[in-house]
Amino acid sequence: EIEGFEAGPYPDLSIVTYRFLPERGDADAFNHRLIQAIRHEGNIFISSTRINGKLILRAAVGCFRTHLDDIDETLDILSRKVKQLNEN
């Protein structure tokens, strides 16, 4: 768990869904900015969808070459980008 993140429904296959819940402001707008910042950096790819009208981020871990270090890097990038966006 990462503080501020809400897990989505239990995953099907290898797709994990989640969203960040900011202390103030619109969660959908924040998550949209978060995904844009992550895509701009280019180290990982996160997609998005809507579930029950809420913008949800998705990470698919389907490649057998994905290792725990890759997951840790994704979590580190998410945490760093959230911090950067909260500072602005």
**In this model, does residue 79 exceed pLDDT 80?**
yes
pTM: 0.80
**Predicted pLDDT of residue 9:** 67
**Predicted pLDDT of residue 29:** 97
Domains of the chain: 5-87 (3.90.1150.10)
Longest dimension (CA), the chain: 39
Backbone dihedral region for residue 77 (phi beyond 0: left; psi -120 to 50: alpha; all else: beta): alpha
pLDDT by residue (tens digit) across 7-21?
776 666 788 889 999
pLDDT by residue (tens digit) across 18-70?
999 999 999 999 999 999 999 999 999 999 999 999 999 998 887 778 888 98
